[in-house]
Structure 1
Amino acid sequence: MKKYLEIYEKIKNDIINGVYGFNEKLPSKRTIAEDMKVSVVTVETAYDILQSEGYIFSIERSGYFVSYNTDFTYKTNTKSEERTEVFSISKNNEYFPFSTLASATRKILNSFGEALLEKSANTGTEYLKKAIKNYLIRNRGISVEEEQIIIGSGSEYLYGIITELLGHDKIYAIESPSYEQIEKVYVAKNVKIEKLPITSSGISSENLNKSVAQILHVTPYRSYPTLATATVSKKKEYLSWAIKRDGFVIEDDYESEFSLTTKTTDTIFGSDKNAPVIFVNTFTKSICPALRVGYMLIPKFLTGTFYQKLGFYSCTLPTLEQYLIAHILNDGSFERHVNKIRRLRRKQLTTT
């Protein structure tokens, strides 16, 4: 493990285990560097990751302090609880390289031939499920069985499947403002929705406690259009909220692979294998909009219900597209592309 990740893990665990309490000052970068026999830059990288995930915050000329808090009843008047602005994201060329896609398509056609004309299994091909499973272990720290992976044609399709799974009689809370398609799908499915105002660090504790919903749909990383990112404390609060109500969190993981830190963002789903969380992601942003391919992860305890209730639905994706995505996940070209875009975004951030 790289040194900055060792430091990150050590300090994170110390914070979670109460070695450093809420609002307590952390050792300086120089102190940590001397103790761990590393450079100050290495410690700074670890602190940057901790800060981006909401474990700590910094005050100029004063140092770093703990922001992680498991007491969800506390009040705060910091900027993290202020209402966020709405941003528009300019179009930029972050599509997956066409030449690599073309080459991968030719290889798939040559390797599998007429087998690609066969109908996919209802929840997706085993080939793609296995590729996603291995990718999640390598890059997201998420371990699931293939039966927990459901393949579909984009997020909107999966939102609809989720309402069939969890029920139309539930109230679904969504961030306000949020990606407009979320609300449109729920309205089209005739489910009641509750809009919870979002702050720069997620939905406020006050609004969560007042909610009468049973299902909470959130985008923890750069929620569109506010670009708000939930802190690690807020993610734990979302999960606690769902458990207390015997409800569910729908974790919309759109774009988190492009996190600007040197480590991918931790997920609510990955925090507890028994958590009542449904994880949704799509390749629309990370590859290109033309490939309407998404997947969701359901908790192990929900698989029996899913396959009994909805297992009859046919997969909405051609086998060829599934094999193509599996191929670029398996050969490393997808991860190289994601890492390239993350480097470009970090560079753009430092030059603006």
Structure 2
Amino acid sequence: MSTNHQPAYVALYELLREEIRSGARPCGSRLPSRRTLSRDRGISPVTVDHSYEMLCEEGYAEARPRSGYYVIYRESDLFSRPESLPAPRVPAPVPVVSRESFSFPSLARVMRRVLSEYGDAILVKPPNAGCPELREAVSRYLARSRGIRAGANQILIGSGAEYLYGLVVEMLGRERIYGIESPSYEKIEQVYRAKGVRCDLLRLGRDGILSSDLEATVASVLHITPYRSYPSGVTASASKRREYLAWGTRPDRWLVEDDYESEFSLLRKSEDTLFASAKKENVIYLNTFSRTVSPSFRTGYMVLPAGLLPLFEKRIGFYSCSVPAFEQYVLAELIDSGEFERHINRIRRSDRKAGSGRITGSSPSSDTAGTDPEFR
């Protein structure tokens, strides 16, 4: 079933996803059993397991004990579905070095190469938005892995998520109300309040912000973590992501997509981001390297829609880049050499072998939900 060098489990996932999206498999319908589907398609039951895990992770289906897999995605009834709150989750403890971090020998090898090739350039103050080498590398990486088509001029490098949250306020303004998930990574609210803005806490259900809270909020900026929000471990379903985009279609509304840890999705290529799916240019995309490379790499990036660039230049374009050039060159080399993506793929393969625990939103490195925010 593999096509164009695509693994069989990914091809089956995409086939079932399109059948669900088109309505051929409506909400509430039961998916074929793994044995039936493997026999009919001539593939192994393990392949079916991986495909179903991906459908569950992306919010298209759910596993029901001793019953099977059922479609939960729906196109209609936005803001009107009955929802429930998620069960409390226990945050994962903070390890000294994450299992997902690069090994020291690998990083040391790249650092030596950068020192040799860049020489005195590592002592030069980087441009305000970041070194072109890293911004261009991130642009290419996002196009390959996250479906984001953004030029290097749309990418801003900054020292971690907290710094970038502050820049969002400086750019969009303090007079706005910012809607954030409740519960959420505590520093999101702390940074916003420290910047002098009002926050509206929106309750999380089992697949994202409750529709009733989303419809009622007076916020004009919505900050969301669609994938495994900390500390709840909640992943926004495909239906909920559409709901977020629908919320953003009203005038003067902005979405801040905090895509932290999405690289560790079971999918070989993760579900398209809100940034890539939005018809309006009103989604700001954020991510960092502190989880995927090392907690000591306090480097993040923000992707702006092209239409926001003039406002960015006017309000915060004068800020100096807060990340040393050496660190940026190392990250650019990791991405362009392919080592970054090979590292991500190794972690994904390890997680797939670990079984179906990820279906319920558990951490790839523990049985507890969400990844400790210290990695941001």
With the length of structure 2 as denominator, give the TM-score of the two structures: 0.86
SS in 1 for 2:248: helix
* Aligned equivalent of 2:262, options 242, 256, 260: 256
2: distance between equivalents of 1:105 and 1:338?
19
* Aligned equivalent of 1:115, options 109, 117, 121: 121
For residues 11-41 of structure 1, the C-alpha deviation after alignment (integer angstroms, 9 at most, x for no partner) is 2122212222221233444444344332333
SS in 2 for 1:196: strand
Matches within 5 A, 1:69-218: 69-70=74-75, 71-76=77-82, 81-92=84-95, 93=97, 94=99, 95-218=101-224
2: distance between equivalents of 1:4 and 1:193?
42
1: distance between equivalents of 2:256 and 2:113?
36
- Alignment correspondent of 1:337: 343
CA contact (8 A) 1:250 1:277 kept: yes
- In the comparison of the two structures, how many residue pairs are matched? 349
SS in 1 for 2:293: coil
Amino acid of the structure 2 residue aligned with 1:107: R
- Alignment correspondent of 1:298: 304
2: distance between equivalents of 1:4 and 1:345?
15
Identity %: 44
- Alignment correspondent of 2:227: 221
CA contact (8 A) 1:57 1:67 kept: yes
2: distance between equivalents of 1:10 and 1:346?
20
Relative to structure 1, the CA distance from residue 5 to residue 230 in structure 2 (aligned partners, 3 Å threshold; closer, same or farther) is same
CA contact (8 A) 1:249 1:276 kept: yes
- Alignment correspondent of 1:41: 46
How big is the shift at 1:157?
0.8
SS in 2 for 1:220: coil
With the length of structure 1 as denominator, give the TM-score of the two structures: 0.92
Unaligned runs of 5+ in 1: none
CA contact (8 A) 2:146 2:269 kept: no
- Alignment correspondent of 1:326: 332
SS in 2 for 1:74: coil
1: distance between equivalents of 2:251 and 2:38?
44
For residues 181-221 of structure 1, the C-alpha deviation after alignment (integer angstroms, 9 at most, x for no partner) is 11111111101111112123211111111111111111111
Relative to structure 1, the CA distance from residue 294 to residue 200 in structure 2 (aligned partners, 3 Å threshold; closer, same or farther) is same
2: distance between equivalents of 1:104 and 1:273?
39
Relative to structure 1, the CA distance from residue 347 to residue 44 in structure 2 (aligned partners, 3 Å threshold; closer, same or farther) is closer
The CA RMSD over aligned residues, in Å, is: 2.2
Higher mean C-alpha displacement, 85-94 vs 229-238: 85-94
For residues 128-181 of structure 1, the C-alpha deviation after alignment (integer angstroms, 9 at most, x for no partner) is 011111211222222211111111111111111111111111100111121111
1: distance between equivalents of 2:10 and 2:266?
15
CA contact (8 A) 1:172 1:191 kept: yes
CA contact (8 A) 1:49 1:262 kept: no
SS in 1 for 2:117: helix
After superposing on structure 2, the runs of 4+ consecutive aligned residues of structure 1 that deviate more than 6 Å are: 349-352
2: distance between equivalents of 1:350 and 1:196?
30
- Alignment correspondent of 1:50: 55
1: distance between equivalents of 2:63 and 2:322?
47
How big is the shift at 1:261?
4.9
For residues 274-318 of structure 1, the C-alpha deviation after alignment (integer angstroms, 9 at most, x for no partner) is 442111001111111211100011112222322233222221111
2: distance between equivalents of 1:214 and 1:110?
48
Relative to structure 1, the CA distance from residue 31 to residue 343 in structure 2 (aligned partners, 3 Å threshold; closer, same or farther) is closer
Matched, 1:14 2:15: no
Amino acid of the structure 1 residue aligned with 2:93: S
2: distance between equivalents of 1:265 and 1:171?
29
SS in 1 for 2:249: helix
2: distance between equivalents of 1:29 and 1:130?
43
1: distance between equivalents of 2:37 and 2:120?
59
SS in 1 for 2:73: coil
1: distance between equivalents of 2:204 and 2:356?
27
Relative to structure 1, the CA distance from residue 28 to residue 244 in structure 2 (aligned partners, 3 Å threshold; closer, same or farther) is farther
